[in-house]
Amino acid sequence: MDAVTSWLEWSDEEFLSYVESHCETPRALFSMGMIERLHELAGVEFVFHGARPVVLFMPADTALPLVGAARERLADAGGSDGT
């Protein structure tokens, strides 16, 4: 995964690996687009009430279950990585 490459160009697995490692950092900030992609991959509806911030804090206890659900869905779909 090239650091210059946009997260929009990452495969699903590259994206999930990034989320998995970044959510463990003290500054686990994710863009709304990233959060929406994670929820979509996990098959979980994402609903946000109020003004949409540019980024949200998403710590490991929130992100890791979604990463796990996303990986399960990808495996059930035959390992498609969305590219």
pLDDT tens-digit readout, 51-68: 989 999 999 999 999 999
Q: What are phi and psi of 4, to 5 degrees?
A: -80, -25
Cα 40 to the chain's mean position, in Å?
9
pLDDT band, very low/low/confident/very high, at 83 (cuts 50, 70, 90): very low
pLDDT tens-digit readout, 1-50: 555 679 999 999 999 999 999 999 999 999 999 999 999 999 999 998 88
d(CA 8, CA 79): 19
Torsion on CA atoms 21, 24, 25, 30, rounded to nearest 10: 70
pLDDT band, very low/low/confident/very high, at 75 (cuts 50, 70, 90): very high
